[in-house]
Structure 1
């Protein structure tokens, strides 16, 4: 079973940091999403599929557990129902299975988006699906959509999240919107459990690409203080000093 993967890679001579995630999900073991944190939140009713749909889903699960994803999808595609929850549940299941298949990211997003738009899913499934769509959009290089979905996830859950803000910042980087990087990356940095070198490098890159060298140096000085063991950061700081003719 494939697991969710994420890797960070440095680009350019200045070791510009950027996330390049390969996002693959297994339906039964998706990364858990925390509870909705809105102060006025009241848990909605918990629904389950109808007997007719549940029987089909059971058949699909049996195929899935035997690594027969194509056969599982065929069973799910065959489900016809006019019930709102049954339809949303089925579309979500199809989308999650498609997300495990190479080259099916865009099709997965189509089914998952339909499930979310119906507002029929149980609360935890609804917010988890929104987050999955955001991750898949980033994987598919649909950066504007990724930003929209990450922001929607934080709005719906009333949660601020390092990973969401970091990925929003990366999406802005990928689209060349360097000024827009600063607000979300500052929030990501403030939410990190410990100093994150890649987040600081992304912030530095925002300033450097806009030729804001004073601010670039200030961030790079922070990086050197926080990650003094990384020799490359010292030489990079020296390069920036030379850039502004701070020879001393």
Structure 2
């Protein structure tokens, strides 16, 4: 898995390089022990002047983004049997960084692990490299290995930080150990004064995988208490309620946001309209869509007009239904919208327009109810006194199993001179 340049720099920053010259200047000074609980004993790190000189030059090249130019110097140190273990480990650390910057992750990983195995670097560098290896394995989607290395980092460094716990939780999530991911991420968040947004997302995703929607909702509600107008959080909470089959709560969240002027995207309007429709509130759904359209937020489209037609149909507003399906028709690649339009036009006693709609439906094809389309067009043609056309359509409908009986009844009635009567109301 390739990383962006910025992400690669961030990853390498977990193991900061110190030039040999800098080390030499500071080796006699006392520094704060960053790992007071480490189980690894701090090794004695020494270099001869020649090693310091060569590795200082190589380190400067690597830090200047010229890692490939540093490799010959590094290999010279590694090829010298008299080089100290510390010099070799430092050289391998440089080699790993150079290859990482060159996008050669396999060589970078191999060199970094060799540097760790020499067990000669100061704790601050040794532990930094162990942590980096965990991250590298994670980027390569080798999550078991990554988890093993972060466990090693915790054990040897004696540390348990918010960042390390968050990384570990992320690994648990990717390994589908969701309960472990939840428990570990809660610890990470508790340890941090400013938890990263991505941490909450991992926690949220883990709740989702375990269908723990109440816990997920509680998490978002706690975030909303701090950012009450964050539309991203509001929509996230609504989605959680939908997944938990709590549609009234989802509607309440989004409708309140709309009243506050926070609902501004076409997706938001469409989602709220669909929620109203699913909650058997078609009038509210239609009003929401009309508002979005009137504001120019919801643009003309098949989805928008078809949804408006559907909810108007639910509320038995035939004028709205016909108007919406008429506007949806030009956007439709198949004939299903025109079939619905024809149906409503026919029962609105607008048979000529219904005929045109059914003609388009059959011509476009892709009908879910093809037999029914021929039956209806036959009925429309009969109403228009085109008996021959009606008979032809009914005979066609008789070839479909779903409409065979219906069509044959019409054919029999027509051949005996019985005029088909339009039902007084649609069903």
| Band of TM-score, shorter chain | 0.7 to 0.9
Question: Does the 8 A contact of 1:49 with 1:89 survive in 2?
Answer: no
Aligned to 2:212: 212
CA distance in 1, matches of 2:174, 2:225: 28
State the Cα distance separating 1:34 from its structure 2 match. 7.6
What is the aligned partner in structure 2 of residue 36 from structure 1? 35
Matches within 5 A, 1:219-230: 219-230=219-230
Change (3 A) 1:245 1:59: closer
Could you tell me which residue of structure 2 aligns to residue 145 of structure 1?
145
SS of 1:99 mapped into structure 2? helix
Asked if 1:160 corresponds to 2:160, the answer is yes
In 2, Cα distance between the equivalents of 1:200 and 1:111?
A: 34
Secondary structure, counterpart of 1:5 in structure 2: helix
Q: Which has the higher helix share?
A: 2
TM-score normalised to structure 2 length: 0.47
Unaligned runs of 5+ in 2: 20-31, 250-427
- Where has structure 1 moved over 6 Å in runs of 4 or more? 40-43
Distance 2:212 2:64 in 1: 56
Partner of 2:285: none
Instruction: Find the aligned partners of 1:29 and 1:122 in 2 and give their Cα distance.
Output: 11
The aligned counterpart of 1:71 is 69
C-alpha contact (below 8 Å) 1:217/1:240 kept by paired residues: yes
CA distance in 2, matches of 1:62, 1:237: 50
TM-score between the two structures when normalised by the length of structure 1: 0.76
178-187 or 75-84, which moves further after superposition?
75-84
Equivalent residue, structure 2, for 1:50: 48
SS of the aligned residue for 1:236 comes to helix
Within-5 A mapping of 1:8-27 = 23-25=11-13
Corresponding residue number in structure 2 for 1:182: 182
Unaligned runs of at least 5 residues, structure 1: 8-20
SS of 2:201's equivalent in the other structure is helix
Change (3 A) 1:243 1:69: closer
Secondary structure, aligned partner of 1:23:
helix
1:90–1:244 Cα change, 3 Å: closer
Structure 2 partner of 1:106: 106
Q: CA deviation at 1:188?
A: 1.0
**Partner-residue secondary structure (3-state), 1:47:** coil
Higher relative contact order (CA 8 A, sep 6+): 1
CA distance in 1, matches of 2:152, 2:40: 18
Structure 2 CA distance for aligned equivalents of residues 241 and 104 of structure 1: 45
Cα distance, 1:147–1:227 mapped onto 2, change above 3 Å: farther
| RMSD (Å), alpha carbons | 3.3
Instruction: Give per-residue Cα distances to partners, 1:102-160, cap 9 Å, x unaligned.
Output: x2222111111112122222222211221222232233333222222222222222222
Instruction: After TM superposition, give the deviation of residue 189 of structure 1 in Å.
Output: 0.8
